[in-house]
Each structure stands twice: as structure tokens, then as C-alpha cells.
Chains A and B, each alone.
Chain A
């Protein structure tokens, strides 16, 4: 049984059909890549999965539960973790503060008890800080714990974001262009990190990605979207060489391309 699944999801914004009949499956421990040109509806699909958009048609299933109408924060509680294209972090806070913010659902005290300073609040807060430091060490970010997010370079922010999502204790990671802003070497290292995380945390991962070597290396299965529709799916190599996919990216006849 797949961990995460969309069944025939469609969504319209005014006259624009942003997604049409998109069906995607993410199996247990799978790393699934979602590729496609700009404006193909990749992030829209993510927004449907995480609950920012409610699809006009179709359903979203998470571990056998229909979550189509569920609020974003409730899906997080179930185990969906998501990163954003333009870095989803609280920029005014430090790296460690961000990881504590992401552990919101782990804080098992009432908000008002926190304000009045009940004894167990201090214990929980200490545990949350410790857990944050462990996660930062795993992602080799330990030195940056007390640094303010706003001053950090983009490539580092992307890794901080992954640490932050891990802090929400997810079963499925949804990564929106995790390698953007990274050089080839860093992207390679990110690939290592993702494979490690899958092993260590038992995660399933779905990621939107443009960096082809990374997709080919880590993904078990790839979906290609174009104009809001699924164009192709299959093993990375199959999809990469799929004539429709090549056409969508390069806008040319593959035969001509081969001749050139």
C-alpha cells in the first residue's frame, strides 16, 4: 500500500487548469521525483497534497486515510513534512529556534501553562532543544545553531529547512526543489543526505527537482508533469529518455534533435 497517494486530482484557478487528473503514488521507503518544465503544476500538486489547495476533483490519501479536506496543520500531525521553493523558515529567529518552532506539536503543555511557567514546561523545552541539536548535528549544521537564519547563504538555508522539517517528525518528506541554489558538489552531497535520511528515519520522500543527475541517482520512480497533466512516469532512465518528456523540455522533435 502506498503511503501517499493522489487520485485524479484536478484544480482550476479561474480559466487556468493548473492540474488535471493527477494521480501520484509514493510507496513506503520510496524516493519519488516529480519533474517538469516551469509552470507544469508541480508545486500546485504539492499544495494539493499538503492542503493549501483543495482540489476541485479527486482525493488525497495518506496511509489509507482520505485527507482531502483536512487542514494543513492536521496533515503535519499525521506525518507530512514539506519544504518550500523559497525556503520556509522563520527568518527572524535563530536556526535552533526554528527547529523548536517546528516541534510545536511535540510541546505537550498548554500554551497558557507555558506563559505562567509551569515546571514541566521547562523540562519539555529542554528536551526540544536537545532534539534540535541532535538533528542539526546529523545534518552537519551544529555550528550554526545560534546563528540567525536571515544572514545565512541560500544553499545552507535549504539544509536548515530539511532539518526543520525533520523536527516535525514526518513519515513522508515533500521537498520542493531541495537542490536549488546548490552547486554540483553540494547537490551530490544532498543526494547522500537524502539516502541516509531514508535509511535512518525510515522516510518516504517525494521531491520536485530540476537537477537531473540528482534525480537519476536517488529516485526510485519519477513522474513528469506538463501543463498540469501527467506526461510520463516510470524508472528515472525511462522517463529521462521518454520522447514526450524530451519534447516538453526542449520543445523540439526528438528525431530532429537526434539528427542535429
Chain B
């Protein structure tokens, strides 16, 4: 009987494996080179016409559509713009820095009460009150950021959760500051005394926040955050002070949240402590993640969507209220109503985001965005800001 010799010549096998690896490598590099030398795509005049038309339609939707809407609707649109600011605030922590905040209702609420108290009780001008609300928002976030330097992961999430709950249960219960159960009144500012004007004012503020966020990501602050989220060690060898920039992220988020809170207070014209509960923090987190971490437009759209959903506006307009009522009357989910729609639909959308589209709405609209910016339409464009599930887990 003959013993079969080894089927593999080790030298040959290794050489072959190396050659295969080199081939794959060469392919990737060649592809990148080809892309670098490819003549850039330029849309035709007709292509530009359609792009401009779509952009104009979007702008018109935001600017013109609310003009002839009833006042109650316009208030909700203001809320959508304000939620977008809050979503961007949370995006700084959750998206760029990789820190979670489950107590964002406190961030926002502190801004609301500060501004309302200063305007109503202290008779301060609106602008000064909002500025102080932003400063206070940044300051309280700085304290929480100090905790984040010492505690990480799940434990820090618990700290933020209890921070939010403690703030809404105790801090917002100081009647001198918050006006007790009936709440603190917060009048509309004199230069934007109608809901319509206030809506456009909120849009303007949102535009400024988007600009600041954009500039941050184009300069060293944003790059430092992205680096320290991925790997603090690498960040520090790049000369980035990881602790200082973690605190910086919290302050930026706190200032944005304080601003959003102040605007929210004057939108409602009254601030009540019970509005700033844990449910709100939950919606903030869900809207940011579903919107798409690190995607500015995704977060803005997601936040606006959840603002309109949680206020019942979308449920009403989509005529699904009857369905909801039917379900509530005839099934085992009697709590279903338009008020909790966001808390029912939110987790479903979150699940969808986590399992199928980690980049959320931002990932979905990316092909359209690229097309608008003058590129070829590519449905499978994942872009260079891919979100991984591990990001979302925070």
C-alpha cells in the first residue's frame, strides 16, 4: 500500500497566496487611481435644470408651504425646526464623539427654564435671555462631560439617564424658578410676535446651527472629535488633547441644546416641568439615530419627522387616526393613541435602522444629495461617512 504524499507543496501554496493577496491589493489601488484620473462628471443643462427644480421645490416646501397654514400647524413646524437643532446637538455627542446622552431632556429643559425665567421674572430682553440659556446649557454639559472622562460605556449612559431624571424631578420642581405646576410663561419675542414670524426666526437659527456644525467638521475641532471617537490613543499621538476635546464636545452639545430649549419655551409661550420627562429624551435619541449619525441633513429630517410625529400632526394628516382608534378599541393595545405614536413607531424605525440601514435617513437620501450636488445618480452610493452598527451601540 502506498502512502499518499502531501497534496500541497508549501512553497508553491504560499507563493500563490501571496500572489492572490497582491492581485487584490493592486486591484483596489488601481481602482482608486482610475477614479482619481477619471474626468469629473458634469451634468448637462437639462440635468442642472432638474437639480435646481428639485432644490427649489424643497426650499419652497420649507419656506412657502407654512404661509397659509393655521397657527396651530405653524407652531408645530417651529417645533420641527427646534427639534432639528436638538437633534444636531445630540449628533455632536452620539455621532461625532461617540458619547451617549440619555438625559438630553434636562439639557433642553434647563435652557427652556433659564430663558423663560429671565424674560418673565427678571424682565430681560429675549436675546440676552437666550444667550444666558446657551451659556447655562454649556456649563451643565461641562459638568456631565467631566463625569464622562471617568466613567465609560453603559455606566456613563446610566449616569446621564439618572442625571436627566433627577433634573426633571427635582431641579424643575423649584417653584421660584419654574413657576410650579402651571409653569413659567415665556412670551414670543417682540420682533417675532406671530407664530409665522417665529417659525422663520427658528429656521434662521437652525441655519446658523447647521453652518456652525458644518464649519466645525471642516476644521480641527471636528476632526479631533472623529479621531478620538475611533481611537483616543491614535488621536493623542496626533497631538489632540483627548480630555479637552471630549469636554469641548459636551459644551457644544450643551450650548446647542440650551439654544433649542430656549426656542422651545418661547414657541409654547409656557414651560411646564412635566413636559421634560424621560420619554422626551428617548425620542431625542431615537430621532438622531434614525436620522443618521454624522449626517447633518439626515438628522435634521429625522428630527423634524419625529417632532411632527410626536405632536400627532402626521397621524392627523395621514388620516390614520381612525385606524389607531380602531386598533385601540379592538385590540390588546388600548394605550395606542396619536400621542404615543412616536414611542410606538420610533422603536420600530430604530430597529429597521439598526438591522438594515445603520446610516438611517442620511444613508437613504445620500444618492439624492450627491445627485443634487452635481454628481451622477448612483443608488448604491454609500458615501464616505458610513455608519456601523457598533457606533449606534455607543
Contact = CB atoms under 8 A, between A and B. Distances in A.
Contact of B238 (A71, A76, A117, A121): A76
B370 to A, nearest CB: 14
Interface string B19-57: 001101100110011011100000000000000000000
A102 B239 CA distance: 7
Interface residues of A, number: 50
The number of chain B residues touching the other chain, given as a range, is 35 or more
Contact of B240 (A104, A109, A112, A121): A104
A18 to B, nearest CB: 17
A194 interface: no
Interface stretch (A87-95, A231-239, A244-252): A87-95
Interface in B251-306: 252
A240 interface: no
Contacts of A111: 219-221, 224, 248
B224 A101 contact: yes
Nearest to B238: A102
A81 B234 CA distance: 11
Given A84-B234, A94-B384, A76 B223 contact: no
B231 interface: yes
Interface of A: 50, 52, 71-73, 76-77, 81-82, 84, 88-94, 97, 100-102, 104-105, 107, 109, 111-112, 114-117, 121, 125, 142-148, 150-153, 155-156, 164-165, 168, 183
- Most chain A beta carbons < 10 A, residue from B37, B219, B248: B219
A168 B227 CA distance: 14
A71 B243 CA distance: 11
A143 B28 CA distance: 12
Question: 10 closest Cβ contacts across the A-B interface?
Answer: A114-B219, A88-B234, A72-B236, A153-B25, A105-B239, A76-B239, A111-B221, A143-B33, A107-B220, A101-B223
Interface of B: 18, 21-22, 24-25, 28-29, 32-33, 35-37, 211-212, 215-216, 218-221, 223-224, 226-227, 230-231, 233-234, 236-242, 248, 252, 384-386
